[in-house]
Structure 1
Amino acid sequence: MQIAVFSARPYDRRFLDEANQRGAAEQDFAFVYFDASLDLHTATLAQDCDAVCVFVNDRLDAPVLQALHAQGVHAVLLRCAGFNNVDLAAATSLGLFVARVPAYSPEAVAEHALALVMTLNRQTHRAYNRVREGNFMLDGLLGHTLHGRTVGIVGTGKIGVATARIFKGLGCTVLGHDPYPSASFAGLGENVALAKLLSRADIVSLHCPLTADTHHLINDASLAQMKAGAMLVNTSRGGLVDTHAVIRALKSRRLGHLAIDVYEQESALFFQDLSGEIIDDEAFQRLMTFPNVLVTGHQGFFTVEALQEISAITLGNLADFAAGRACANRVEAG
């Protein structure tokens, strides 16, 4: 069985090949790697392949899925948890097998959220640059002691719970909001309504999926409900945040700090080296002018352990498809 892997970076090749070698005695999978992301123009690269393996910013709308199906592709393997980039109705109507990696090393993303908070709070990124230039002044680097602060976790799934556990360990008061409260969150914090969380939290950290209900969950109205000077952290999905509303809140000084590992229009930017290019995204460029904004390029998942788990689960999903057996990680419309 031949699988076309799109948006393939060197680390994808390494960990998928290692996982494939471990299961080589039981399966016969051949990966064909492409640096290009999947869209209607690159779908032809999957010619003669039985499946495609894709990432968060690959495009799998109805026209792309139809093109893949016409070429003989029968399965879509997502090496990520989110599947908002897949037209599931079209996939189901075409009889395509779609499976994801629902959870992988939730601690990896939770720890990255902590890293963003600590960096912005204590200004360690600015201190690093100062010291390298021989400047040992502390002015402008004043932070807050996190012990005793209130942290709001929006989305108390596995990653949200892992994040809550970290902040509780630091001595923070933890609030959580989720329409489907997690039993695992009990004992870590208090479940409250979103408005109450926003009004009380010094730090708001987003850990929820992107759906029609959560699209632009953070907007002008919700930002107005937030505690003045609070920090917003998003390591989940870019579309949860209305970027223009956040810019307005930063300009008005209502929002104290912003840390994002995801961005609504990231597909045109992230996972590429654009250091020699002019970035046309004016909203992103405006964000980068604020000294109280920290952006990383969707690296929350990027640990050895998480990549090993992602690859192993992806290979497991592929093995289920090849064997024609039920797959616990399959996603379908409705």
Structure 2
Amino acid sequence: MTTAPFRLAFFSTQKYDITAFDSQLPKHITTEYFSQQLNETSVKLAEGFDGICCFVNDVLSEDVIERLHQLGVKLIALRCAGFNNVDLKAAKNHGIKVVRVPAYSPEAVAEHCLALILTLSRKTHKAYNRVKENNFDLNGLLGFNLHNKTVGVIGLGKIGTAFVKILNGFGANVIYFDPFTESDLAQSVSIETLYQQSDIIALHCPLTNDTLHIINEQALEQMKPGVMLVNTSRGALIDTQACINALKSRKLGYLALDVYEQESELFFKDMSCEIIDDDIFQRLLTFPNVLITGHQGFFTKEAVSEIVATTLNNVDEFIANSPLTNEVK
């Protein structure tokens, strides 16, 4: 007797997803790729599938999960580390398992964070454009050394740890705040001390009820004038309007973002011919000391390959009714 293949529906699919997953897909899993973001409207596309594979901006609310249950979906396989977009209580109530990719390549995100810091500090993006126009004037391109600067890291998980190791190689003075982790790679301090002492602050923590808008008006007031803030974790860790106000007052000297609180309406799409209605995002783009990339911190060959391998292994464990190594409860 031949067992029917496990049917897996992908949402928020990009071309690189299809190429990467098809290259490793086993015969006992069949897939269909949907470019649509999963939400209350598109959830109907999951009909007839055993499981779904989702990304960071898919909406897995209580209503969506209830509909998935009605459609017979038994597994939500997240091809990302974060799971703040999933109503875990609803999934549990409906008997739907949730798995994720907890660590694909911490170095990928850590290195991108460093790239943002060095780009802003040395203004290489501006220098590149000047040289393309045969302008070799150095005025306006004065930067600063990372060596001996105090860098505060909020969150010392796998990515934060990889980032600290890189910073130590640069000779930076690294401090960190993480109530759940101890490390001898850097000095542990209170969040208030980190705000007050850091020349650069990098966010490497998950988005939870406790970390929502951890960078707000009160936090910014405690920071040094001219501080650099870098977020490669989750957009809602910062209050964007508060950061805009701090940029206008010159309290915030530099801002680098690879994530944005309302990114689900923007990122992973070509909107070059569209009018963007998000006034807050458009305001951010007007500042010369703001650098934004479109959630590409994870996007290396090594990381994508690991995401595919871990996701498919998660699905295989579910099919085999084995313990789920990366289950989110």
Q: Structure 2-normalised TM-score?
A: 0.97
Which residue of structure 1 aligns with residue 325 of structure 2? 328
- Unpaired runs of at least 5, structure 1: none
Report the Cα distance in structure 1 between the residues aligned to 2:119 and 2:175, rounded to whole angstroms.
Answer: 22
In the alignment, which of 232, 255, 258 is matched to residue 258 of structure 1? 255
Determine if the alignment matches structure 1 residue 198 to structure 2 residue 210. Answer: no
Q: Using the alignment, how far apart are the partners of 2:50 and 2:181 within structure 1?
A: 39
State, as a whole percentage, how many aligned pairs show the same letter: 55
Q: Note the C-alpha offset of 1:66.
A: 1.1
Query: Counterpart of 2:129 in structure 1: which amino acid?
Result: N
In 2: Cα distance, 1:18 partner to 1:179 partner: 41
Residue in 2 aligned with 1:13?
Answer: 18
Correspondences of 1:310-321 after superposition (within 5 Å): 310-321=307-318
Which residue of 245, 249, 258 maps to 2:246?
Answer: 249
2: CA distance between counterparts of 1:85 and 1:179?
23
SS of corresponding position for 1:259: strand
Question: How many Å apart are 1:67 and its aligned residue?
Answer: 1.1
After superposition, the C-alpha distances for 1:248-301 in whole angstroms (9 at most, x for unaligned) are 000000000000000000000000001001100000000000000000000000
Following superposition of structure 1 onto structure 2, how do residues 39-54 of structure 1 map, counting pairs within 5 Å?
A: 39-54=39-54
Distance (whole Å) between structure 2 residues aligned to residue 304 and residue 14 of structure 1: 12
Aligned counterparts, 1:164-203, within 5 A? 164-182=164-182, 185-186=183-184, 188-203=185-200
What residue in structure 2 maps to residue 65 of structure 1? 65
Q: Please point out which of 1, 8, 24 is paired with 1:3.
A: 8
Q: Does 1:237 align with 2:234?
A: yes
Structure 2 partner of 1:216? 213
Q: How many residues align?
A: 324
Deviation at 1:15, TM superposition (A): 1.4
Structure 2 matches for 1:277-288, cutoff 5 A? Answer: 277-288=274-285
Give 1:9's aligned amino acid: Q
Confirm or deny that 1:55 pairs with 2:48.
no
Matched residue SS, 2:101: coil
Structure 2 residue ranges without an equivalent (≥5): 1-5
How far, CA to CA, are the matches of 1:258 and 1:324 in structure 2? 46
Amino acid at match of 1:165: K
Deviations 1:182-207 (A, max 9, x none): 3xx31x21000011011111110000
Per-residue deviation, 1:111: 0.2
* Deviation, structure 1 residue 14: 1.3
CA displacement at 1:17 relative to structure 2: 1.4
> How much does 1:46 deviate?
1.1
Task: Report the counterpart of residue 3 of structure 2 in structure 1.
Answer: none
Match of 1:53, SS state, is: strand
Aligned residues: CA RMSD: 0.7
Contact 1:181-1:191 at 8 Å conserved across structures: no
Q: Which amino acid aligns with 1:256?
A: G
Residue 83 of structure 1 aligns with which residue? 83
Question: Structure 1 residue runs of 4+, over 3 Å off?
Answer: none
Distance 1:45 1:155 in 2: 37
Alignment partners' CA distance in 2, 1:181 and 1:322: 34
SS in 2 for 1:115: helix
Post-superposition CA distance 1:310-329 (Å, at most 9, x none): 11110011011111111121
Q: Is structure 2 residue 123 aligned with structure 1 residue 123?
A: yes
Q: How many Å separate the matches in 2 of 1:198 and 1:169? A: 23
Instruction: Tell me what 2:302 maps to.
Output: 305
Q: 2:288 maps to which residue? A: 291
Displacement of 1:174: 0.4
SS at match of 2:218: helix
Q: What letter is aligned with 2:22?
A: D
Matched, 1:149 2:146: no
Q: How far apart in 2 are the matches of 1:97 and 1:89?
A: 11
Q: Write the distance in 2 (CA, Å) between the matches of 1:103 and 1:179.
A: 20
Q: Secondary structure at the match of 2:72?
A: coil
**What is the identity, as a one-letter code, of the residue corresponding to 1:89?**
K
**How far apart, CA to CA, are the structure 2 residues paired with 1:58 and 1:202?**
35
- The secondary structure found in structure 1 opposite 2:77 is strand
- Partner-residue secondary structure (3-state), 1:32: strand
Partner Cα separation in structure 2 for residue 239 and residue 41 of structure 1: 24
Give 1:51 shift.
0.4
The offset of 1:19, in angstroms, is: 2.1
Residue 35 (str. 1) matches residue 32 (str. 2):
no
